Amino acid sequence: MSKLSISEAAKIKGVSASTLRRWESEGKLIPERTASGHRRYDLSQLLGVKSELSYTVGYCRVSSHDQKQDLERQKEVVELFCSQNGWQFEIIEDLGSGLNYSKKGLKRLIRLIVDNKIERLVITHKDRLLRFGSELIFSLCEHFGTEVVIINRTEDSSLEEDLAQDVLEIITIFSARLYGSRSHKNKKIVEELRAVATRI
């Protein structure tokens, strides 16, 4: 019986190559090695190993309630992408600034990654995780053997647009605390700032 390469073995098990390498380091699945050092897997050996993982997680985020339609579009894109690849998946969604590290969905995502419960993370754009600091999440994924799939690597929203939205959110929060969320003065400030932000 011919031996399988690591990419072929990963496809059969429905896991990433990094997961197979992690299993090897844990002594869970030890492949044979060719003379040149390449891993080779036996099919019967593969089928005898039960994958403790899990599934794919799609993470979708928008900054404000005004972007609810964008959130639905993100979810549709991720769901379609995962379904086309035959992955079992769950969607985690967040509403909050890309500068906020304390979002409920993001914290749950990080817990799942460090608990080795996610085989694959799918996002539409890199900045859906965090505006600054997404590399930290990617490093966690690499360490714990979670594959990261970015569907669209070229059409991230511009930095100026995102920063304008983030600044507007911050000012809205502080003005609400100063003047009351329903006060006429607060509403006027927010409207003026929103008009400025849209002109950036």
Q: Residue 62: how many CA atoms within 13 Å on its side-chain side? A: 12
This model's pTM is above 0.85: no
Look up residue 180 and give its two tokens. Answer: 């009351």
Look up residue 18 and give its two tokens. Answer: 């990094």
CATH of domain 6-47: 1.10.1660.10
Pairing status of strand 118-123 against strand 89-95: unpaired
CA distance 162 to 177: 23
Q: So which residues are the catalytic ones?
A: 63
Residue extents of the structural domains in the chain = 6-47, 55-150, 159-198
The Cα-based distances of 188 to 164, 173, 178 in angstroms read 18, 14, 13
Using one digit for the tens of pLDDT, what is the confidence trace for 51-69? 555 579 999 998 877 788 8
Using one digit for the tens of pLDDT, what is the confidence trace for 64-100? 777 888 889 999 999 999 888 888 889 999 987 766 6
Task: Please say whether the beta carbons of 60 and 74 come within 8 A.
Answer: yes
CATH architecture designation of domain 55-150: 3-Layer(aba) Sandwich (3.40)
